[in-house]
Amino acid sequence: MSRAYDLLEARFKKAAILGDALSVLHWDMSAMMPDGGAEARAEQLALLKTLSHETLTGADMADLLAAAKTEALDDWERANLREMHRDWVHAAALPADLVDAMAKAESTCEMIWRQARPTADFAAVLPSLREILNLTIQAGQAKAEALGVDIYDALLDQYEPDGRSADIDAVFADLETFLPDFIGQALEAQAARPEPQLPAGPFPVENQKQLGQHIMAVLGFDFHHGRQDVSAHPFCGGYPEDVRITTRYNTDDFTTALMGVIHETGHALYDFGLPTGKWRYQPVGRARGMQMHESQSLLMEMQACRSRGFAGFAAPLMQETFNGTGSAWQPENLYRLGTRVKRGFIRVDADECTYPAHVIIRYGLEKALIEGRMDLADLPGAWNDGYRRLLGITPPDDRLGCLQDIHWYGGSWGYFPTYTLGAMSAAQLFAAAKQADPAIETGIARGDFAPLLAWLRTHVHGKGSSLSTRDLLVAATGKPLDAGVFKAHLQKRYLD
């Protein structure tokens, strides 16, 4: 007779395979699908999400979970059961008709957003976004009751298990105190040095793609199990055997696409390195929340690939790719360009000093909207107010303002704080990795990422969701998340 736990494993494997199919359909919708396919795609996504929901909410699920708790399980099985229970609570909180409605509304709103963003037409997407918000609030209220937390924390828990806004509020309040003076000091230190030179463009898209894919391979991307394409907003999707990343190109500045590619490659490397075999289709075999996932993308983008060592390795490749001449292509100049601090409008293009401000603004706005303290029609003005307050700039239009990110329009509410938590975790993990293995820094300087990737495979990727985020950080670095490590990194790179 099968254990209750074994029956659960079979059921969650089915849900995981449906999730893999959903991920590829989402990628196709963003990177390949013609606009005319939107309505049919919405139906496909809604059906698959409903089937996955039904798989996790069978009438016997509560009894199976309770029975499995009494069975003899090893540590990984018990961790898997913990994650199964979390998934079940989230799924069972929602009626099937709400799951269907949300899936269709998200697909519809995303397609409208793609047309509204280039023309800065927030009014065009507002009705669809309002529907998304209303459905998200319904889902959040249902999950909040099931989890015994407030509505924002219930949504946050979808992306960062056990994440709580009270903890984030304390971290972000500290950063809000630290950042304004620090950014001012960094800009003063920068102004005291000669202005770095911009390499002369234009930079053809095909050359940018060639350079990006070369760097992807250097970092460890496996093109037998992945690919790179173009989309309106860079992202990483697919599943471990077939990882899809995207970027977007600017022929006046090759670095925006390149750093986007490096960021998404960090995500891809995490997916490639997740547990295989028995745990491949189980909740414990997934990445440990978006804080850790963003730590992996930002570790590659901000920590490793904006270092002097990496600039020394990459400069000749960049110069050769674009047939560049002159001192603008020297490693030190490219390093200073890559670490230039600038108060800008676009989050994905932001330097690591101002980046947390972009996230703090979004976090405050989405909390206010979810909690009913702000009307959606007031979002553009409140967005601009936040930028004036924290960065001293005002977006000239909504394309550079509240229309720039896909998250809310695609139904991802509660995600944004994981970016800055991820950036802080990235600094802490990278510091621990370098201390553990001196070959990591010297390897990066010659384009050998194998030592860094090996450390990450052992201490992060291969752990899947067997540990909580806090316990994973403690095991890898010796302590829980420490804002002091992130601040020390910023001060050393930008003030010393």
Question: Which residues make up each annotated binding site for Zn(2+)?
Answer: 263, 267, 294
- 332 as an active site residue: the answer is no
d(CA 150, CA 169): 14
d(CA 229, CA 209): 9
Sequence-distant (6+) residues with CB within 8 A of 163 are 153, 156, 157, 289, 291, 417, 418, 421, 469
Q: Is 429 within 8 Å of 293 (Cβ atoms)?
A: no
Closest CA relative to residue 261, chosen from 344, 336, 205, 307: 205
Q: Which residues contact 360 (CB under 8 A, 6 or more apart)?
A: 172, 175, 176, 390, 420
C-beta atoms surrounding 106 within 10 Å? 24
Using DSSP's 3-state secondary structure scheme, residue 122 falls into helix
**Cβ partners under 8 Å of residue 287, min gap 6:** 270, 271, 274, 293, 464, 465
CA torsion sign, 325 to 326 to 330 to 332? negative
Strand partners, 229: 246
- The answer to whether 56 and 92 are in contact (CB under 8 A) is yes
The active-site residue, picked from 77, 83, 160, 264, is: 264
Cβ burial of 59 (10 Å; 0-12, 13-18, 19+) is exposed
What are the φ/ψ torsions at residue 193 (nearest 5 degrees)?
A: -105, 160
For residue 200, give the DSSP letter: P
Q: Residue 426 is which amino acid?
A: A
- At residue 58, what are phi and psi to the nearest 5 degrees? -55, 155
Cβ-in-10-Å burial (0-12, 13-18, 19+) of 288 comes to: buried
d(CA 302, CA 296): 10
- Distance in angstroms (rounded) separating the CA atoms of residues 53 and 102: 12
What is the β-pairing status of strands 236-239 and 226-230?
unpaired
Residues serving a catalytic function are 264
